[in-house]
A and B are shown apart, each in its own frame.
Chain A
């Protein structure tokens, strides 16, 4: 479904992605793990069109994305729950969710989708008239994910959903990710919490300084000696 082929992305002169190739198939959870500065978020930004690759191609169901502006890519069914959440702080929770559906052409199932999102995140339902900026960190994460879901995306990009959250909340969020996938959403998950990510993903890629050094099924990556040493903290 989503395919990156030899993507090189730069920040000015800094060579951030050095030839990334990866695929995400329909109905999969694929995770990108790696340490700080490995290029995980840059990969997602490149897919979303916020950074343009200098060379290489990004295709979604055969449509080339790499030359399109970000808002058109959103219209094609790529939704992201960004790192740092980036919710609209001065809009209410409901308005934030409505913004998520902005790019949708077909709004027939809008009401059901809203109900579905609110059922997934009951906390948001309690806070529906509250301003986004007044939510706690975990609630903002839920709002960011809910907003992305409102777009009814073909592929959902999740950037560090566990960042800054209490362990209990992290588990809750990962349960929800799993549930979303069971309902048929394709997910590309970027995580620092490698153990968590590998426990729910089907396949994984390991990123180091802008290159993919390893790719395999999640199960095999979990048992890989190098991965265990570098990312899972197993001696």
Chain B
């Protein structure tokens, strides 16, 4: 029965999405929700033969698929007409719904059947399935004309940022409220080194490493003086840094650097002995516009691969580029997590004093977390700058830092898979779901509800102006976090450690139950 509940959740969520997008979206969601449902079931099912597991998943998959298709058809024929979009019964709707249903049921059963394999094969099978979906996604998207890829790319940028911040917050346990600063440093390094702003056009494949290096350098420079500060205080210091960096980029529009020796050291000494200054000052840089302030740097160079220049209107290459960066990121972070360094991060997070007694240098370890975390923000920043082609200081303000922190917390602090899911959920909600909801509500209001209120034009205007969910995105965001913290404080996919902390009582209880069972047997 509890599995049916999972099926209902997946079916309804997918159904709601199809409500807003209509058309082919039901097939796409069938694929995603089917695989997701299969994975969710797969984790809960006991081991058994493949066929048995597929059979076990069948009723759940049918419930989920049925709900999704029912909602989708209801949306197509009842709700969509009320928003003024007339969707005639045509072959696309029928085909999309049938395919969606098949995808949902088939993938859920297929994935659940992996439980019948032995552990190693199970992992391989899951990896192959996920890889197939990830690779097929942009092509299906183009074929179905949904145009989701560009938004998914945004989500993936935040996935990288989340993974980087997870090193600092999740592994080393250091609060960082200004992480977007490193994102900004990566983006501006890219902007300055490959744009007409300074007539420097370095190759993207070189700049992305320079951006990462620059971010790491600043992570080191910020960390060195502040890391002896502990806990909440470190949060405040990083908050300050996060505020300063965008302001610096906003104001670096009139840079003058004088060579110090002749400009103030020698004259200063002369003045000290009562002489008037006679040395001519040498200007190294005068009135240089480094960052173009509020106007932003534009246009920024795009990556070129084998003579092909990435284009803004073709998102598929960008998609694969960022997938590649994410794979590199995950690979590096996993290697680090299992290394000596990863161990010492964990130890520092647990107990700084005890780790020092074990021979771990706390300052070095924390600095490494800060600088390495910043590297990934540098990657993300370089990609972002090249993808958007224009960067403005306002993008990197405090709210960006908070969103990245929320990606980590919502997804599951300390867990790579959790952070990936968190990033996808938050950013697709923000960039896909809310705009679609806005259009949907606007259509519904303009076409059906407002005419009913026609007696009062003032009320009409007020309603139509305020019924824009994008206005409330931070409210909705906050609400989600409050609910999450109440219901599932360890995040969507928690790490073993966080589960241990937040559900310590349960674990101790389980252990004790175990023991009493053993005692009874003995």
Contacts and interface: CB of A to CB of B under 8 A. Distances in A.
Interface in B351-375: 351, 353-362
A102 B350 contact: no
A74 B501 contact: no
A133 B499 CA distance: 13
Given A75-B359, A99-B347, A88 B507 contact: no
B500 A133 contact: yes
B504 A134 contact: yes
Interface string A94-122: 01001110110000000000000000000
A35 interface: no
B361 A71 contact: yes
A134 B508 contact: yes
A70 B500 CA distance: 29
B350 A88 contact: yes
Interface stretch (A20-28, A78-86, A168-176, A200-208): A78-86
B222 to A, nearest CB: 22
A102 B358 contact: yes
Contact of A71 (B340, B359, B511): B359
B356 A71 contact: yes
Given A100-B358, A102-B360, A151-B358, A90 B507 contact: no
Contacts of A75: 359
Contacts, number: 80
B497 interface: yes
Contacts of B357: 48, 50, 70, 74, 79-80, 82, 86
B47 interface: no
Given A90-B500, A99-B343, A130-B511, A69 B350 contact: no
B353 A50 contact: yes
Interface in B442-492: none
A134 to B, nearest CB: 5
A56 interface: no
Interface string B321-346: 00000000000000000001001101
Interface string A208-227: 00000000000000000000
Given A71-B359, A102-B343, A131 B354 contact: no
A7 interface: no
Interface in B249-297: none
A102 B344 contact: yes
Nearest to A131: B500
Contacts of A87: 354
Contacts of B343: 95, 98-99, 102
Given A130-B511, A134-B511, A88 B356 contact: no
Contacts of A95: 343, 346
A62 to B, nearest CB: 20
A81 B501 CA distance: 23
A90 B359 contact: no
A37 interface: no
Nearest to A79: B357
A99 B347 CA distance: 8
A133 B511 CA distance: 12
A102 B353 contact: no
A72 B351 CA distance: 17
Contact of A90 (B353, B355, B362, B497): B497
Nearest to A74: B359
Contacts of A131: 500, 507
A22 B357 CA distance: 22
A53 to B, nearest CB: 17
A70 B396 CA distance: 39
A48 B357 CA distance: 7
A88 B347 contact: yes
A79 B358 CA distance: 7
Contacts of B358: 71, 74, 99-100, 102-103, 147, 151
A164 interface: no
A91 interface: yes
In the complex, which of the residues B353, B358, B497, B501 has the most CB atoms of chain A within 10 Å of its own CB atom?
B358
A156 to B, nearest CB: 12
A131 B496 CA distance: 10
B501 A90 contact: yes
A89 interface: yes
Contact of A50 (B340, B351, B356): B356
A74 B356 contact: yes
Contacts of B347: 88, 91, 99, 102
A80 B354 CA distance: 9
Given A71-B361, A99-B343, A102-B343, A86 B354 contact: yes
Contacts of A82: 353-354, 357
A184 B350 CA distance: 32
Contacts of A71: 355-356, 358-362
B290 to A, nearest CB: 40
Interface in A28-62: 48-50
A98 to B, nearest CB: 7
In the complex, which of the residues A103, A131, A133, A147 has the most CB atoms of chain B within 10 Å of its own CB atom?
A131
A86 B351 contact: yes
Contacts of B346: 88, 90-91, 95
A90 B350 contact: yes
Contacts of B355: 71, 99
A69 B356 CA distance: 9
In the complex, which of the residues A71, A87, A91 has the most CB atoms of chain B within 10 Å of its own CB atom?
A71
B380 to A, nearest CB: 29
8 contacts: A74-B357, A74-B358, A82-B354, A86-B351, A98-B343, A100-B358, A102-B343, A103-B359
Given A102-B359, A103-B359, 16 more contacts: A71-B356, A71-B359, A74-B357, A79-B357, A90-B346, A90-B500, A91-B346, A98-B343, A102-B343, A102-B360, A103-B360, A130-B511, A131-B507, A134-B504, A134-B507, A134-B508
Interface of B: 340, 343-344, 346-347, 350-351, 353-362, 497, 500-501, 504, 507-508, 511
The 5 A-B residue pairs whose C-beta atoms are closest, nearest first, are A103-B359, A74-B359, A70-B356, A88-B350, A86-B354
